[in-house]
Amino acid sequence: MPRDYQFTPRHVDFILTNAGALCSAASLLGGDAAEKRVKRLVDDMCIVSPVTRSMNRQLDMLEDLLALRHVDDPERIEAERFAMIDPGSPVVEEICLLLDGLREARSSIDYFAA
The per-residue pLDDT for range 36-60, each reduced to its tens digit, is 999 999 999 888 767 889 999 999 9
Task: Give the start-to-end residue ranges of the domains of the chain.
Answer: 10-107
* Distance in angstroms (rounded) separating the CA atoms of residues 19 and 60: 16
pLDDT score at 4: 54
Provide long-range contacts, Cβ within 8 A and 24+ apart, for 70-79: 77/30, 77/31, 77/33, 77/34, 78/29, 78/30
Query: In a structure prediction context, what are the per-residue pLDDT tens digits for the chain, which is 114 residues long?
Result: 555 556 778 888 999 999 999 999 999 999 999 999 999 999 998 887 678 899 999 999 999 999 999 999 999 999 999 999 999 999 999 999 999 999 999 998 765 444
> Residue 64, exposed/middle/buried by CB under 10 A (0-12, 13-18, 19+)?
middle
